[in-house]
Amino acid sequence: MRKIIHVDMDAFYAAIEQRDDPSLRGRPVAVGGSSGRGVVATASYEARRFGVGSAMPSIRAMRLCPDLVFVKPRFDVYKATSRQVRAILERYTPLIEPLSLDEAYLDVTGAAEGTTAVAIARSIKEAIQADTGLTASAGVSFNKFLAKTASGLVKPDGLTVIRPDQAERFLADLPIERFHGVGPATAKRLREHGIAHGRDLQCRSEAEVAAVFGRIGQHFWRIAKAQDERTVEPHRVRKSLSVETTFFEDLRSPSEIQAQLAEIADELALRLTRAGFRGRTLTLKIRYADFDLATRRSTAKAPMLDAADIQAEARRLMGLEPRPSTPIRLLGLGVSADHAEHDSRQMELPLSDASSLEP
């Protein structure tokens, strides 16, 4: 049985701003641009009580919370703090997989010999507090999905454990929306098929779920059965993730093209979920029968994760293809992280970048 810890800093950018400017403490703070087209990167917990949150247009945030204080992001400070946190994690194990600036998985199966994973998690939280003045929340369990879900259960400053004998019950009660990778559209589809909680997956067979939802359904079925074999990958520096298919016979009819595109979108969503990879840019690749290549690309406000959202955007991009009714031999879809090419360290992969904050 593995021992996995997921560490996630609390209100990361906003907490740093409150730490560095005492006048902001105890007040509702949003990090982001307050201009007409600005977007909130994150909000302090005081602001969240008003419903202010990440990716919300600043105008709306101001309406929800008139006393909201906007602070311009200081990415250099966030990155430096992220490196500091990373250095703390490295005291415990080299098996660290950062997911973003403020989030990482640790495999402490070996490190916990002679102690416990919970004791390590507690010690990490204390060290982060002592060295950075910030709080983190941690989740401890025996797979990645459960550890990540656990870290989100009690926030801020939480430490939540899901033990093997608690997992099945916990997953049974978990609403489908809380499964990482299930966006609003997928949740709606699942609910339409009577799947509202983990238990609705647990009580069906894998084949039954796969027949309706394909491989992404299979993935969530396994997750609901506490089967998540994904390992903690310390050296992965992922910048993009894509899926492409070359067809035995060229695609000619729009309905064929739409069907294949939908399948590729589902497969991509599945891999994104498995990899825990987030990126906002979707790229459609088309190779025509005569080998001419076309790509179409768009960047969303939030990371592309949900199968239905990816499908919808892929269809839109397909509508922009330059040579309609030309036979197609290959279709591909990929998601890439913005500005990832500037950073070689994964801990520095931004969840969003300055351009999304300031028009």
Least distance in angstroms from the C-beta of 12 to Mg ion: 5
Q: Please identify, using beta-carbon distances, which residue of 12 and 92 lies nearer to Mg ion.
A: 12
Q: Whose Cβ is closer to ligand TTP: residue 26's or residue 110's?
A: 26
Q: Does 134 bind Mg ion (CB under 5 A)?
A: no
Q: Which does 302 bind (CB under 5 to 8 A by kind): Mg ion, ligand TTP, none?
A: ligand TTP
Q: How far is the CB of 128 from Mg ion (least distance, A)?
A: 12
Nearest to 261 by CA among 291, 285, 295: 285
| Shortest distance (Å) from residue 352 CB to ligand TTP | 4
* Spatial distance between the Cα atoms of 278 and 273, rounded to a whole number of angstroms: 9
Contact 198/224 with Cβ under 8 angstroms?
yes
| Least distance in angstroms from the C-beta of 280 to ligand TTP | 9
Residue 134 interaction partner, one of Mg ion, ligand TTP, none, beta carbon < 5-8 Å per kind: none
Residue closer to ligand TTP, measured from CB, 105 or 221: 105
Q: How far is the CB of 240 from Mg ion (least distance, A)?
A: 23
Closest CA to 312 of 303, 324, 302, 304: 304
Residue (8 or 309) nearer to Mg ion, CB = 8
Rounding to the nearest 10 degrees, give the CA dihedral for residues 286, 332, 299, 188: 120
Residue among 5, 7, 8, 272 that touches Mg ion (CB under 5 A):
8
Integer-rounded Cα Rg, in Å, for the chain is 21
Q: Which of residues 12-31 bind Mg ion (CB under 5 A)?
A: 12
**Minimum distance, C-beta of residue 11 to ligand TTP, in the bound complex (Å):** 4
> According to the binding rule CB under 5 A, does residue 306 interact with Mg ion?
no
* Residues in binding contact with Mg ion, number by CB under 5 A: 4
**333, 264 contact by CB (below 8 A):** yes
CB nearer to ligand TTP: give 53 or 214: 53
Q: Which partner, ligand TTP, Mg ion, none, binds residue 336 by CB below 5 to 8 Å per kind?
A: none
> Which C-beta is closer to ligand TTP: that of 10 or that of 267?
10
Q: Does 46 bind Mg ion (CB under 5 A)?
A: no
Q: Looking at 102, 107, 267, 338, which residue binds Mg ion (CB under 5 A)?
A: 102
Nearer to ligand TTP, 103 or 228 (CB): 103
Residues 6+ apart with CB under 8 A from 228: 143, 144, 145, 146, 222
List 7, 9, 85, 284, residue binding Mg ion (CB under 5 A)? 9
Which amino acid, one-letter code, is at 243?
V
Residues ≥6 apart with Cβ < 8 Å to 245: 260, 263, 264, 330, 331, 332
Per CB under 5 A, does 267 bind Mg ion?
A: no
Binding flag, residue 348, Mg ion (CB under 5 A): no
Contacts with ligand TTP by CB under 6 A lie at 8-13, 41-42, 54-55, 102-103, 155-156, 302, 351-352
Task: Return the one option of Mg ion, ligand TTP, none that residue 351 interacts with (CB less than 5 to 8 A, by type).
Answer: ligand TTP
- Closest contact distance (angstroms) between CB of 290 and Mg ion is 48
Distance CA 201, CA 187 (A): 13
Q: Which residues are catalytic?
A: 103
Alpha-carbon gap, residue 128 to 16, rounded angstroms: 13
Binding positions for Mg ion, rule: CB under 5 A: 8-9, 12, 102
